[in-house]
């Protein structure tokens, strides 16, 4: 086991304090993690220490360089890990990756200069891990590729073919290093994505605001958060009114009103107003951090699923051992039997399958997607149910003015002009949509009105040419200002049925007009939904927090027959689990922080490039173009790749069987069989590297881009 410093922040509240995250290269036993935390907390200057045993992570807050150094030395001494001793110095870098590639350097630049004795020692040492892995699998009753690798290495050692031993261990080891590096890099990036970057908060004590480090905030404390600031804790609003932008958590672009008694969550932002929050959860107990824990657990489970390429290789193992045994029985020649293990079926499979996957991933990058591993190509191929989050995925997550409806006696352009004139003073998304629509229609609105009075989470009030103007929500206009909305009752009902939000304008106590605001579908959404069904998806499901009527209207416009309305952020992963339990192979498409658990729970998760950082990080596939047509290309690419792997597998099995049988019955000389085997391996590898999709297959998908 080794520990590495993956992230550190200094100067949180003073020049000398800081926070560092240290991660082990494996998980930690729960008891050991707790023991480490208690020992760390016993060091003077360590204000806080937390452990996540599942991913081997330690988060340590220190108050000076001495406590930092003592903490690192304690870890090094406690676990007797030399790697930790390097961290005790002033300059610290993240865990080394290049060290894992030392076998490559050793084979090409050191091995040629070694004496025969040293080559024997080097080859034997490098072979031990693979021999042990094969024996462990065999004792567990599994006849898999690890057993075949161990048998081939052991046979080469027996025949004193140390060059072959070195080459085999080199190729096998590089695969493990790359897999470990990819996993570590993903976890480190996830940790960065989940950093709130809030270090000091204003705590209210006996009516006075006191600057306090976030690490010292406890449940029951009261925290003041003003406009423009991130909310660092979960809690209940104790006082004040504010508009909270929850787009990072829910994906919804329009802020929500929160007043006394309303719940707020870490990671969201106060857009307007000021509130006092009574803390219910802080640190790793917040919903923000619970999302991270859920993701880590889901990824750990998903990592245990064998990829299709591994299963295909395992199928060839019994045949290889059977043929080797048959050769020995017929010839009583150990070297000829061993040659079957060295020139075996898995040779081409081990080369061709990774090459096909890498070629596919490279091709995906060119076509506008990042596929984060071969197993996700398999999942893209197998998925039969696709689940969409609505906001930011099927829609643009950017509100626009869909309709301007004046009452009798008022001019449409005048209503829009006046509303834009008032709303331009406020930078929230709806106000920007109104101003943008006025600009689009070339409606000039001079500053003729009196000072604008803003009522947080309600609307605005002003006067123009002696008339009192009100612009805001239905509650503000109808309930607070007692304006009669009956002149447009039919239009209001029609717009609500279309799933649109309404902004009202009153003049001298009478309704002047309404603006219908909507989050429009992406232009390509309808076509893509139809194409996905053609690509073999049996069920298409939409999830949204909207009410039943709004959800139904949007689903109908998109061509989706199945939807779930009023879905809470925490429920999305449960719905994916429910579909999985029904036997569905779920592909989830989302863009918000609250989508991350569902993305991780699904067989494969896909995020759009314009989604939140966390969704992009957690997703297994990232569409780098803001276009849903990428889903079609990803599906076709995955299907073509899996067909190529199947074809290569069949060709490998058939041709190598013919070559081995030809050598067995003296139809082919051994040298000819070896040449044919290597030529077959080369041909299959080249076939794996060919482009998987034709120009026609990709051009169809992007015709509307």
Two tokens, residue 199: 């270090």
From the list 63, 221, 234, 389, the catalytic residue is: 389
Report yes or no: 520 and 400 within 8 Å, Cβ to Cβ. Answer: yes
Per-residue confidence (pLDDT) for residue 165, from 0 to 100: 74
- Of 2.70.150.10, 1.10.510.10, 2.40.110.10, 2.40.440.10, the CATH number of 200-283 is 2.70.150.10
What's residue 360's pLDDT? 83
Structure tokens at 27: 């998980």
Q: According to the model, what pLDDT value does residue 2 have?
A: 60
Q: Is the CA virtual torsion 83, 78, 37, 48 positive or negative?
A: negative
DSSP label at residue 522: P
CB atoms within 10 A of CB 407: 18
Say if residues 214 and 201 touch (Cβ distance below 8 Å).
Answer: yes
| Residues 94-144: tens digit of each pLDDT | 333 344 455 556 655 566 667 777 877 877 887 888 888 888 888 887 777
Write out the H or E segment, with its range, that includes residue 581: helix 572-581
Measured CA to CA, the distance from residue 374 to residue 607 in angstroms comes to 17
Question: What dotted CATH number matches 3-96?
Answer: 3.30.70.100
- Give dist(CA 546, CA 216) in Å, integer: 38
- Residue spans per domain, the chain: 3-96, 99-190, 200-283, 369-396+522-633, 400-518
Residue 613 bears catalytic tag: no
Q: Output the pLDDT for position 66.
A: 86
Sign of CA dihedral 75, 81, 83, 86: positive
Encoding tokens for residue 169? Answer: 């261990």
C-alpha pair distances (Å), 399 with each of 249, 355, 391, 396, 437: 18, 44, 10, 8, 11
pLDDT of residue 537: 96
Contact 640, 696 (CB under 8 A): no
Beta-sheet pairing, 200-205 with 208-213: antiparallel
Domain 369-396+522-633 class in CATH:
alpha beta
Distance in angstroms (rounded) separating the CA atoms of residues 241 and 161 = 77
381-434 residue pLDDT tens: 999 999 999 888 898 767 899 999 999 999 999 999 989 888 877 767 788 889
- SS3 of 418-469: the string is HHHHHHCCCCCHHHHHHHHHHHHCCCCCCCCCCCCEEECCCEEEEEECCEEE
Mean pLDDT by groups of 10 residues along the chain of 705 residues: 64 69 70 82 86 73 85 70 36 39 59 72 81 85 76 79 70 55 45 55 87 85 85 90 72 72 84 88 65 48 43 69 79 72 61 75 82 81 93 83 94 91 76 89 68 71 85 88 93 86 92 91 92 94 85 90 84 92 94 79 87 72 88 93 86 80 66 64 78 68 44
CATH number for the domain running over 400-518: 3.40.1110.10
Amino acid 38: pLDDT: 83
Residue 136 CA: distances (Å) to CA of 130, 171, 172: 10, 20, 17
């Amino acid at each position: 086991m080794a520990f590495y410093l993956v992230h550190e922040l200094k100067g949180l509240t003073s020049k000398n304090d800081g926070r560092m995250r240290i991660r082990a290269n494996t998980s930690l036993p729960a008891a050991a993690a707790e023991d480490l935390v208690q020992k760390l907390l016993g060091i003077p200057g360590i204000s806080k220490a937390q452990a996540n045993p599942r991913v081997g992570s330690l988060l340590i807050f220190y108050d000076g360089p001495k406590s930092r150094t003592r903490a690192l030395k304690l870890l090094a001494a406690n676990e007797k890990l030399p790697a930790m001793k390097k961290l005790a110095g002033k300059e610290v870098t993240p865990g080394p990756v290049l060290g894992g590639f030392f076998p490559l350097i050793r084979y090409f630049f050191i091995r040629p200069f070694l004496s025969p004795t040293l080559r024997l020692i080097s080859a034997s040492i490098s072979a031990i891990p693979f021999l042990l892995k094969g024996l462990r699998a065999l004792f567990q009753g599994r006849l898999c590729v690890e057993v075949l690798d161990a048998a081939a290495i052991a046979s080469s050692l027996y025949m004193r073919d140390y060059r072959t031993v070195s080459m085999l261990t080199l190729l096998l080891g590089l695969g493990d290093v790359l897999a470990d590096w990819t996993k570590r890099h993903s976890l480190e990036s996830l940790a960065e994505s989940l950093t709130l970057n809030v270090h000091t908060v204003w705590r209210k004590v006996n009516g006075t605001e006191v600057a306090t480090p976030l690490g010292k905030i406890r449940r029951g404390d009261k925290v003041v958060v003003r406009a423009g600031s991130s909310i660092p804790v979960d809690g209940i609003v104790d006082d004040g009114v504010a508009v909270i932008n929850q787009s990072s958590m829910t994906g919804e672009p329009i802020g929500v009103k929160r007043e006394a008694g309303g719940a707020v969550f870490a990671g969201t932002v106060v857009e307007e107003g000021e509130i006092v929050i009574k803390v219910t959860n802080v640190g790793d107990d917040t919903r923000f951090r619970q999302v991270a824990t859920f993701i880590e657990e889901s990824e750990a489970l998903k990592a245990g699923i064998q990829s299709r390429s591994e299963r295909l290789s395992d199928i060839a193992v019994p045949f290889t051992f059977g043929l080797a045994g048959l050769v020995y029985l017929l010839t009583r020649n150990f070297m000829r039997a061993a040659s079957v293990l060295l020139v075996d079926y898995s040779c081409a499979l081990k080369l061709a399958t990774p090459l096909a996957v890498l070629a596919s991933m490279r091709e995906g990058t060119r076509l506008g997607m990042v596929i984060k591993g071969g197993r996700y190509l398999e999942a893209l191929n197998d998925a039969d149910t696709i689940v969409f989050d609505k906001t930011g995925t099927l829609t643009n997550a950017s509100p626009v003015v869909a309709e301007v409806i004046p009452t009798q006696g008022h001019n449409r352009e005048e209503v829009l002009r006046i509303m834009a004139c008032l709303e331009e003073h406020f930078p929230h998304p709806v106000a920007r949509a109104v101003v943008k629509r006025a600009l689009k229609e070339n409606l000039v609105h001079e500053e003729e009105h009196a000072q604008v009075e803003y009522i947080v989470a309600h609307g605005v009030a002003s006067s123009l040419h002696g008339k009192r103007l009100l612009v805001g929500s239905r509650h503000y206009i109808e309930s607070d200002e007692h304006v009669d909305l009956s002149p447009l009752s039919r239009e209001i009902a029609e717009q609500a049925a279309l799933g649109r939000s309404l902004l009202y304008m009153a003049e001298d106590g009478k309704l002047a007009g309404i603006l219908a605001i909507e989050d429009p579908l992406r232009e390509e959404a309808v076509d893509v939904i139809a194409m996905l069904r053609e690509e073999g998806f049996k069920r298409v499901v939409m999830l949204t927090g909207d009410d039943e009527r709004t959800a139904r209207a949007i689903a109908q416009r998109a061509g989706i027959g199945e939807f779930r309305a009023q879905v809470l952020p925490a429920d999305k992963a449960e719905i994916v689990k429910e579909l999985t339990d029904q036997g569905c192979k779920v592909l989830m498409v989302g863009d918000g922080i609250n989508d991350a658990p569902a993305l991780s729970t699904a067989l494969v998760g896909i995020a759009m490039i314009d989604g939140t950082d966390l969704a992009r990080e957690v997703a297994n596939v990232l569409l780098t173009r803001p276009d849903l047509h990428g889903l079609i290309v990803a599906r076709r690419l995955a299907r073509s790749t899996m067909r190529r792997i199947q074809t290569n597998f069949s060709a490998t099995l058939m041709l190598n069987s013919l070559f081995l049988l030809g050598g067995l019955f003296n139809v082919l000389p051994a040298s000819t069989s070896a040449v044919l085997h290597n030529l077959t391996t080369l041909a299959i590898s080249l076939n794996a590297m060919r482009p998987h999709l034709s120009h026609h297959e990709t051009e169809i998908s992007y015709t509307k881009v």
